[in-house]
Amino acid sequence: MLDVCLLGCGGMMPLPNRWLTALLIRYNGKIIMIDCGEGTQIPMKLTGWGFKSVNTMCVTHLHADHISGLPGFLLTLGNSGKDDVLKIYGPPDMQRIYNGLTVICPELPYNVVISELPHNEVSSFEAEGLRIKSVPVDHTTNCLAYVIELDRLGKFDIERAKAQNIPMKYWKILQNGEPVKDKENEYTPEMVLGPPRKGIKLAYCTDTRPVDSIIDLIRDADLFICEGNYGDDEKLGKAIEKKHMLFSEAANMAREANVKELILTHFSPALDNPTEYLEKTRGIFNNTYVGKNMLKRKLVFDG
Amino acid sequence: MLDVCLLGCGGMMPLPNRWLTALLIRYNGKIIMIDCGEGTQIPMKLTGWGFKSVNTMCVTHLHADHISGLPGFLLTLGNSGKDDVLKIYGPPDMQRIYNGLTVICPELPYNVVISELPHNEVSSFEAEGLRIKSVPVDHTTNCLAYVIELDRLGKFDIERAKAQNIPMKYWKILQNGEPVKDKENEYTPEMVLGPPRKGIKLAYCTDTRPVDSIIDLIRDADLFICEGNYGDDEKLGKAIEKKHMLFSEAANMAREANVKELILTHFSPALDNPTEYLEKTRGIFNNTYVGKNMLKRKLVFDG
């Protein structure tokens, strides 16, 4: 099961009632954070999930509203007792921006490891037991969408285990996908597990124009969190100029990619009431929700 | 008249219900800002005073909770239409920290002029028609208190003006302290104004231990905004270690310096309810208030 919390839903600047867009993904007690704009540590505190378990941060791009909260967050992470490692993934130039922003937090009680991901191809890495893909998108600066996947092993076949005389004390280990070796035999998960089953897929995509490469990568996602900077279709010209999306464009992508649920986020500060455009957007993709501060979801395996 | 707004009252990190400590001073439609921690632009927006009129920023010191909101604030200032100059005053190293933090806002539509103030002596400068003094204090890093003064000219003496045959059309100019010259004569304010009267004095002091040099400089201030990191006198050891103050220490300074009003601020995140210590603090200095988000005061000339 993945716990997901959209910390805020704003773009450009934090507002009195709208934190900047950022996401937490919790799995097995560890947290992955996506983006860290100014003030993001405030809703993070409200989750009650604790800071210390944040081991990985993925940064979509290096515009202030997605990264300006980094130094304050890093200091609070240090004050939380963290003393191991924080891995930060981001687009090219991540290291330089990190170096600049952390001029006010020169000594942290944990290590920070920075990886710059390619801006021109999909990249894949493992973090906290999840598979993360970074996907180049189309913004005014190098920007990455992220797809987070949790695989699900095949079903454990008791009959096959019995037929192969696999000792029952090893079943749990094999069921978790680990091989077992004792003095006499070696047992592998393949001996008792059926074909892999559908896992969990989460996609996070901001800031960008809608592009085909995204659709392939978000296909069949359980949850698609996507920017909708503008609600009004009349703003298409501005969306193209600023390289952002309309609600309707996000909804079209959700429909085309056959995702289960769409949550819109990263609203322009000028967009006072995003819900105004919800009904129309649901006409394109029915299972659409308007993001809000601290919006949570639990993503579980099917059946 | 000075309009003053304490934007927040927290120290160390912004909390869900407590913005970081920062101050706005508005005079003649122009705004001076003191400190700019993470999220400070949010209560700033709530004031409704507008960003564009911020022409001067004074930074007490370069710890994150006093400066981490700078890049976001600068960008929002740019989005507000500002296209002239922002002057930033701060302790030594201000320029280097500015250069680091603004790595995410490389192009601003206005000029920024940075002045580093001495860390070992009182310094004085003019800003927006006010006189500002920076006062070195005693923290774990170079830190400055600020004293802001608005002078008040002497009273206009109608009888003297008449006796000297000064044309009535010049009275208003002379009353505002400006000289006037026409074809025949030159008139100076000294000809019609009485001795200077008591002006307005505001002092802002965080983060520091109580030191004598502060007392001299804040003497007779109309408003003394001072840190009170800890309410409980039992925390004296911690206050000494962290170079902060107890409520009682701030109140003792207020009493000794004969200020009119004390507002406590910069509360430790562990201090949930600062008001708990108010009664005891008022036993030392009666006109003490506990700071809160968006606390406003109007400072006017006496009589």
What CATH code is carried by the domain that includes residue B63?
3.60.15.10
* Claim to verify: residue B146 and residue B249 sit in the same structural domain: yes
- Give the whole-number percent of chain B exceeding pLDDT 70: 100
* Claim to verify: residue B137 and residue B31 sit in the same structural domain: yes
pLDDT of res. A227: 98
Give pLDDT tens digits for B157-168: 999 999 999 999
Last residue of a domain, one of A144, A175, A194: A194
* Claim to verify: residue B134 and residue B49 sit in the same structural domain: yes
Q: Does A35 touch chain B (CB under 8 A)?
A: no
pLDDT of res. B288: 98
- In this predicted structure, the answer to whether residue B184 has a pLDDT above a threshold of 90 is no
Q: Does A70 touch chain B (CB under 8 A)?
A: no
* Claim to verify: residue B88 and residue B107 sit in the same structural domain: yes
pLDDT of res. A184: 87
**B102: pLDDT confidence band, cut at 50, 70 and 90?**
very high
Q: Does B162 touch chain A (CB under 8 A)?
A: no
**d(C-alpha B4, C-alpha B300), whole Å:** 11
* Claim to verify: residue B19 and residue B54 sit in the same structural domain: yes
Interface test with B, best of A38, A101, A141 (most B CBs within 10 A): A38
* Claim to verify: residue B146 and residue B44 sit in the same structural domain: yes
- Give the whole-number percent of chain A exceeding pLDDT 90: 98
What's the domain count of chain A? 2
Contact B72 A68 (CB under 8 A): yes
Average pLDDT rounded to a whole number, residues A1-23: 97
B63 to chain A, closest Cα gap in Å: 6
Interface test with B, best of A104, A141, A293 (most B CBs within 10 A): A104
Q: Does B272 touch chain A (CB under 8 A)?
A: no
Q: Does A153 touch chain B (CB under 8 A)?
A: no
* Claim to verify: residue B175 and residue B217 sit in the same structural domain: no
Share the mean pLDDT of chain A: 97
pLDDT of res. B7: 98
Q: How far is CA B152 from the centre of its chain?
A: 18
Average pLDDT rounded to a whole number, residues A136-144: 97
Whether residue B65 lies in the annotated active site: yes
pLDDT of res. A288: 98
Q: Does A41 touch chain B (CB under 8 A)?
A: yes
* Claim to verify: residue B139 and residue B240 sit in the same structural domain: yes
pLDDT of res. B303: 78
pLDDT of res. B112: 98
Share the mean pLDDT of chain B: 97
Q: Which residue of B has its CA nearest to A101?
A: B101
* Claim to verify: residue A148 and residue A42 sit in the same structural domain: yes
**B47: pLDDT confidence band, cut at 50, 70 and 90?**
very high
* Claim to verify: residue B115 and residue B235 sit in the same structural domain: yes
Q: Which residue of B has its CA nearest to A97?
A: B103
Give pLDDT tens digits for A31-74: 999 999 999 999 999 999 999 999 999 999 999 999 999 999 99
* Claim to verify: residue B219 and residue B176 sit in the same structural domain: no
Catalytic residue numbers of A? Answer: 65
- Give the whole-number percent of chain A exceeding pLDDT 70: 100
pLDDT of res. A291: 98
pLDDT of res. B23: 98
* Claim to verify: residue B164 and residue B249 sit in the same structural domain: no
Range of the domain at A180: 154-194
Q: Does B67 touch chain A (CB under 8 A)?
A: yes
Cβ-nearest to A64 among B12, B15, B105: B105
Angle between helices A70-79 and A94-101 (to 10 degrees): 70
Q: State the DSSP string of chain A.
A: -EEEEEEE-B-SS-BTTBPBPEEEEEETTEEEEE---TTTHHHHHHHTS-STTEEEEE-S--SHHHHTTHHHHHHHHHHTT--SEEEEEESTTHHHHHHHHGGG----SSEEEEEEPPSSS-EEEEETTEEEEEEE-BSSS--EEEEEEEEEPPPB-HHHHHHTT--GGGHHHHHTT--EE-SS-EE-GGGTB-SPEEEEEEEEE-S-B--HHHHHHHTT-SEEEEE--BSSGGGHHHHHHHT--BHHHHHHHHHHTT-S-EEEE-B-TT-S-GGGGHHHHHTT-SSEEE--TTEEEEE----
Cβ-nearest to B72 among A13, A46, A104: A13
Taking CB atoms and an 8 Å cutoff, what residues of chain A touch B42? Answer: 14-16, 39
**How many inter-chain contacts (A to B, CB under 8 Å) are there?**
99
- In this predicted structure, the answer to whether residue A303 has a pLDDT above a threshold of 90 is no
Last residue of a domain, one of A162, A194, A226: A194
Last residue of a domain, one of B188, B209, B240: B188
Contact A105 B64 (CB under 8 A): yes
Average pLDDT rounded to a whole number, residues A83-88: 97
Q: Which residue of B has its CA nearest to A43?
A: B16
